[in-house]
Amino acid sequence: DYPAPRAVLTGHDHEVVCVSVCAELGLVISGAKEGPCLVHTITGDLLRALEGTENCLYPRLISVSSEGHCIIYYE
């Protein structure tokens, strides 16, 4: 058996630079070079876009806890 992708996550207009997966909650949060961080389910459904303030345009690190708390570090 070869591993195969379960879903393709779409929605970013720029290259993805950081991703965090919370398997307990079934969430994937991804940040692109410019633009919002997107919250998807592990099966590929887009749930929400997290917009930063005008000073927070370049996400670099994302961490998500098993309780659903999300921390995003911007450049």
pLDDT at 56: 84
Kindly report the pTM of this predicted structure. Answer: 0.86
What tens digit of pLDDT does each residue of 49-71 get?
998 888 888 999 999 998 989 99
* Whole-number percent of the chain with pLDDT over 70: 100
pLDDT confidence bin for 8, thresholds 50/70/90:
confident
* Whole-number percent of the chain with pLDDT over 90: 68
- Sequence-ordered list of residues with C-beta below 8 angstroms from that of 11, at least 6 positions apart, any chain: 38, 40, 46, 49
30, 9 in Cβ contact below 8 A? Answer: yes
Beta bridge partners of 70: 64
